[in-house]
A and B are shown apart, each in its own frame.
Chain A
Amino acid sequence: MKKIFLYTFVFKFLLFNLYAAADKFVFAQLKYPGNWDPYPYVYLDVLDILSLTTSVKTEQNRKIIDVTSDKLNEELAKTPFVMLFGDDEVKIPYKNIKVLRDYLINGGTLFIEDTSEFHYSKFDSSIREIVKQMFPEYKFKKTTQEHVLMKSFYLIRKVTGRVVLYPYLEYIEHENRPIIIYSRNNIIACWARDRFGKFIYTCIPEGEQQRFNSQKLFLNIIMYSLCGTYKMDKVHQPFIEQKLRYKK
């Protein structure tokens, strides 16, 4: 009897987790041969803060999608936003690069984080090569202060991460919509904690203030994946401009 109850519970739990992805935010990460998961528990903090501070409903389990899998298309078809992290060379089969292209063109969004913290990294060069294959017609653009990612929830005045290698995010735009967002400041490391809840990595150069700013930027990226360019609508502009002026 206990076994039946246990199986039923597990089954229901799995079902819930499978279907809950339908209208909730899912922390979906692309897995590839290599260091694809530099900060394995970061997603828990991200989801906690997201559900605590915003109206976004979150799925508590992380979704991992194998980017080399033959069934990549089936997995991506149910996941509107995916992330790819790493510090070393990334290899994606050519046919799956095409799948990723279709995914992004048809409404998906990809966030890429170079966690190497180097100006020149294998991760960066391989990513640029993959993106070039994926979208030969597009080039990376750089965000400005007016970009939607700077105001999709928090008003961000500086692009930072654990480090500040570049004061901007890069993105590939398709039909007026950023479809690939690329960070090189290692934003994701700002969330990493040890088992006692203490942040593992110091943020350089501005410390905790920089961490907080980076965390807000990451939440903005997530909010963008759910609201699009909502904050660029005319109705918001006078309010946002007023707030920016006040802060100055």
Chain B
Amino acid sequence: MITIKTTVATIIFCIFLLILLYLIFANIGVRKKIVVKFLRGLLIILLLFLLFRIEYKMPQKIDKINLVFLIDTSYSMKFNNRLEQIKNVISKNYDKLKKKYNVQFYEFNKNLIQINETEKLKPTKYETKIHSAVDQLLSILGNPSIVFLFSDGINNTNEVPAVKKENCFIIPVAFNEKKFKDISITDLRYSKTGFKDVEHKISLEIMSFGYDSITCNVKLINLSNKEVVVNKDFTLNEGKNVVELNFTPRTTGKFNFLISISQFKDEITYENNNVSINIDVKKNKIRVLYLCGQPSPEYYNLRSLLKNDPSIDLVSFVILRNPEDVVIVPDEDLALIPFPTYDIFVKELFNYDLVIFENFSYRRFGITNEYLENIRKFVYSGGGFIMIGGENSFFLGGYKFTPIEEILPVELSLDERWVYSEFRPDYIDYNHPLLKIFDNEKDNEYVWKNVPLLGNYQKVRGVKKEAVVLLRYQNIPLMSYTTVAKGRVFALLTNTTWRWTLGNLLSEKYDYRELYTKLWKNIIYFTSGAEEVKNLYIVCPEENNLNEQIGINIFINLPEEIELKPEVYIITPDKRKEFLYPKKISKEKYTTSFIPVLEGKYYINAIARVGKNVIKEEKEITVGKKELSNELSFLKVNVEYMKNIADYYNTELQYIENLNIEHICEKIKNVVSKQFVSVEEVYRKLPIGILFILIFITEIFIAKIK
């Protein structure tokens, strides 16, 4: 078939042609040489080819069509011998097919890989994106091609392929598993951060195929000690089931839990009956026991600091009167209470997170070595212990040869002395996080170098090998700590840090009260192992599904007397701000919810105002991305998805059980042969332009000679 294409350039050249014709006919009368006429005639023909871009098409014979086997080797293909079935089908047909077609093999899981044979194919541990594999393949395939897509349709998204190519045919091949039976955990919704003594909720979605109205059991097991935290029975119905597991963590730390549901006969696998999750249980309040041997400015200031920190529950005892002190009034005139030795060291000790001894000697109050042994055990089990110096601390307090000696970071010796002297630390570990009071390094160094003078220190022999020294003065480890099993022990060899609170009188530029406050908070939080205690917590699942309600709990961690209602708003993925209306559950707990309609990251913000102070907390959550892989949670063949692919490519879904590859290929080949044409562009075949110029010059040359 011949076609003619007209452009603006064509019109210009037509005008030029007319001029040329005029020249030919004008010269007829003068020179009637045949050669010139021939040349000019030839010029006209060439010009026509060139200007009208004459081309023609004709049916083409196809030698070999590409026949591509695209095979899913993701994890789900290992079940029900899915991959083996594919290999069998291909090996049965391969010999016949390779004669007629250009047979190629590709496997795909998380990547698309060309392979030479299928015999060695094995299921991988990876998940897959079917649409992405098809798109990649089509972008590299030549045409015509027939692609057999072997897969169970278990895709991690619902997206279908986007690339279409003329004369490339995608034939999805699925499995017809009529007796499929499985129970699996398909979705989990929980907060990865929990709080000690605050109920934690895990929402579990269980899918049942082939089992209906049966009693099923679900367990939540703490893998560190094999303790069954939740044990719950429920009725399992065909399809989707939702179960909630509630538990209250009693200890802090990072825990690995196993969620396990009952196993039933004939399930395709038991692998998806268990899911392992990690929950980081944090403290929402630090409970501090502060024992002080005598009233002092250090006690006054440190107690005041701890008392005013809403994250800290403080119980303190200061010894106001020693047994040897004179009593000049009847007991009912004294505001004193008996020192509750037994309660502190036996009954309640393990309910605290941190114990502080300041200038406190155990000897006067019937505290035996067994009680001190409890302190050691308390530290070993994760508690924090701080000893602040004084005439009744360390060796001077009689702690040599007691269980306390073992856990202290400093060495106790007979030559220990309590020294009054005014000094500044001469070694400061500026890089240690505990001493990073100001963000600017130079400011931080300056502040520490010019810190107000301290007034006394405990002259101990030295520091233990494993201890970390933060502040030193003439080889005296003023501030040091050590980690003992799960706990931390901090030693401060002076009781005059209170002078730093008054440092603001000596410096206008730097806030030394801030230094005192931050330093002590750092020490308290660090030693008690609760570095991240906040006043406001947002608890909700980090990973959520689109169009499903997300429940949000707001926990307020402030003293009882402060009552407030938090403002809550979310920032949506399209940067819109939406206010939510929290409902009061208790003084400490508010709850609200929203339904996400967009996939992406949401930011939940909670703001509470206490006087002039604004407490703010933000939490990032994701909508649309699931933690559990479909490769294991949904093992039923996703026929619907495979059908969608077939529809998209105008082909038909095939089942491997009755797949006739040769027949399908022949059918397609017939269609393809009729469609294919080859295009011959006349004006490109010959170097017509050059020929035209040569003839034109020759014609002029001949014409001139004459």
User: In whole angstroms, how far apart are the Cα atoms of A18 and B359 in the complex?
Assistant: 21
Decide: A23 and B328 in contact? CB cutoff 8 A: no
Q: Is A106 an interface residue (CB 8 A)?
A: yes
Decide: A76 and B502 in contact? CB cutoff 8 A: yes
Q: Which residues of B contact A108 (CB under 8 A)?
A: 502
Q: Is A2 an interface residue (CB 8 A)?
A: no
Decide: A153 and B455 in contact? CB cutoff 8 A: no
Given contacts A177-B304, A227-B320, A228-B300, contact A243 B332 (CB under 8 A): yes
Q: Which residues of B contact A240 (CB under 8 A)?
A: 335
Q: Which residues of A contact B320 (CB under 8 A)?
A: 54-55, 153, 223, 227
Q: Which residues of A contact B420 (CB under 8 A)?
A: 15-16, 19-20, 22
Min CB–CB distance A28 → chain B (angstroms): 12
Q: Which residues of B contact A152 (CB under 8 A)?
A: 335
Q: Is B295 an interface residue (CB 8 A)?
A: yes
Q: Is A239 an interface residue (CB 8 A)?
A: yes
Count residues of B near A (Cβ-Cβ below 8 Å): 56
Given contacts A102-B505, A103-B502, A235-B315, contact A53 B321 (CB under 8 A): yes
Contact of A229 among B307, B331, B332 (CB under 8 A): B307
Q: Is A196 an interface residue (CB 8 A)?
A: no
Most chain A beta carbons < 10 A, residue from B297, B308, B506: B297
Decide: A106 and B295 in contact? CB cutoff 8 A: no
The residue on B at minimum CB distance from A235 is: B315
Decide: A236 and B335 in contact? CB cutoff 8 A: yes
Decide: B335 and A155 in contact? CB cutoff 8 A: yes
Which chain B residues in 503-530 approach chain A with CB under 8 Å?
Answer: 503-506, 512-513
The residue on B at minimum CB distance from A177 is: B304
Contact of A54 among B314, B325, B422 (CB under 8 A): B325
Contact of B300 among A15, A74, A225, A239 (CB under 8 A): A225
Please encode chain A, from 153 to 164, with 1 for each CB lying within 8 Å of some chain B CB and 0 for all others. 111000000000
Q: Is B582 an interface residue (CB 8 A)?
A: no
Please encode chain B, from 370 to 406, with 1 for each CB lying within 8 Å of some chain A CB and 0 for all others. 0000000000000000000011000000000000000
The residue on A at minimum CB distance from B511 is: A106
Decide: B298 and A23 in contact? CB cutoff 8 A: yes
Q: Is A193 an interface residue (CB 8 A)?
A: no
Decide: B335 and A154 in contact? CB cutoff 8 A: yes
Q: Which residues of A contact B334 (CB under 8 A)?
A: 153-155, 243
Q: Which of B493-501, B539-547, B592-600 sits within the interface?
A: B493-501
Decide: B456 and A106 in contact? CB cutoff 8 A: no
User: In whole angstroms, how far apart are the Cα atoms of A55 and B328 in the complex?
Assistant: 14
User: In whole angstroms, how far apart are the Cα atoms of A226 and B69 in the complex?
Assistant: 85
User: In whole angstroms, how far apart are the Cα atoms of A153 and B327 in the complex?
Assistant: 12
Q: Which residues of A contact B322 (CB under 8 A)?
A: 55
Given contacts A23-B455, A23-B496, A56-B294, contact A226 B335 (CB under 8 A): no
User: In whole angstroms, how far apart are the Cα atoms of A76 and B359 in the complex?
Assistant: 24
Decide: B315 and A233 in contact? CB cutoff 8 A: yes
Please encode chain B, from 355 to 368, with 1 for each CB lying within 8 Å of some chain A CB and 0 for all others. 00001000000000
Decide: B300 and A80 in contact? CB cutoff 8 A: yes
Q: Is B333 an interface residue (CB 8 A)?
A: yes
User: In whole angstroms, how far apart are the Cα atoms of A178 and B504 in the complex?
Assistant: 20
Min CB–CB distance A154 → chain B (angstroms): 6
User: In whole angstroms, how far apart are the Cα atoms of A246 and B330 in the complex?
Assistant: 12
The residue on A at minimum CB distance from B501 is: A107
User: In whole angstroms, how far apart are the Cα atoms of A18 and B423 in the complex?
Assistant: 13
Count residues of A near B (Cβ-Cβ below 8 Å): 55
Contact of B297 among A16, A106, A226 (CB under 8 A): A226
User: In whole angstroms, how far apart are the Cα atoms of A216 and B335 in the complex?
Assistant: 12
User: In whole angstroms, how far apart are the Cα atoms of A231 and B295 in the complex?
Assistant: 12
Q: Is B17 an interface residue (CB 8 A)?
A: no
Most chain B beta carbons < 10 A, residue from A24, A154, A228: A228
Q: Which residues of A contact B447 (CB under 8 A)?
A: none
Q: Which residues of B contact A20 (CB under 8 A)?
A: 420
The residue on B at minimum CB distance from A154 is: B333
Decide: A246 and B455 in contact? CB cutoff 8 A: no
Most chain A beta carbons < 10 A, residue from B293, B301, B421, B504: B504
Q: Is A230 an interface residue (CB 8 A)?
A: yes
Please encode chain A, from 135 to 163, with 1 for each CB lying within 8 Å of some chain B CB and 0 for all others. 00000000000000001111100000000
User: In whole angstroms, how far apart are the Cα atoms of A77 and B452 in the complex?
Assistant: 9
Given contacts A55-B321, A80-B300, contact A22 B496 (CB under 8 A): yes
Please encode chain A, from 46 to 79, with 1 for each CB lying within 8 Å of some chain B CB and 0 for all others. 0001001111110000000000000001101110
User: In whole angstroms, how far apart are the Cα atoms of A25 and B320 in the complex?
Assistant: 13
Decide: A106 and B315 in contact? CB cutoff 8 A: no
Given contacts A19-B456, A23-B390, A107-B301, contact A227 B333 (CB under 8 A): no
Q: Which residues of A contact B422 (CB under 8 A)?
A: 18-19
Q: Is B30 an interface residue (CB 8 A)?
A: no
Min CB–CB distance B245 → chain A (angstroms): 35
Decide: A231 and B303 in contact? CB cutoff 8 A: no
Given contacts A56-B295, A80-B297, A226-B295, contact A236 B337 (CB under 8 A): yes
Contact of B308 among A176, A226, A243 (CB under 8 A): A176
Q: Which residues of B contact A151 (CB under 8 A)?
A: 335
Decide: B300 and A23 in contact? CB cutoff 8 A: no
Q: Which residues of B contact A25 (CB under 8 A)?
A: 295
Decide: B502 and A55 in contact? CB cutoff 8 A: no
Q: Is A175 an interface residue (CB 8 A)?
A: yes
Min CB–CB distance B655 → chain A (angstroms): 74
Decide: A106 and B513 in contact? CB cutoff 8 A: yes
Min CB–CB distance A75 → chain B (angstroms): 9
User: In whole angstroms, how far apart are the Cα atoms of A81 and B337 in the complex?
Assistant: 26
The residue on A at minimum CB distance from B314 is: A233
Decide: A74 and B506 in contact? CB cutoff 8 A: yes
- List A residues at the B interface (Cβ < 8 Å): 15-16, 18-25, 49, 52-57, 73-74, 76-78, 80-81, 99, 102-103, 106-108, 151-155, 175-177, 216, 223, 225-231, 233, 235-236, 239-240, 243, 246-247
Given A16-B420, A73-B505, 4 additional A-B pairs, CB 8 A: A22-B499, A24-B296, A54-B321, A227-B303
- List B residues at the A interface (Cβ < 8 Å): 293-301, 303-304, 307-308, 314-322, 325-329, 331-337, 359, 390-391, 420-422, 452, 454-456, 495-496, 498-499, 501-506, 512-513
The 10 closest A-B pairs by CB, nearest first: A22-B455, A19-B420, A226-B295, A80-B297, A73-B505, A107-B501, A151-B335, A239-B337, A55-B294, A77-B502
5 A-B pairs whose Cβ atoms sit less than 8 Å apart in the complex? A19-B455, A175-B308, A226-B296, A227-B300, A231-B335
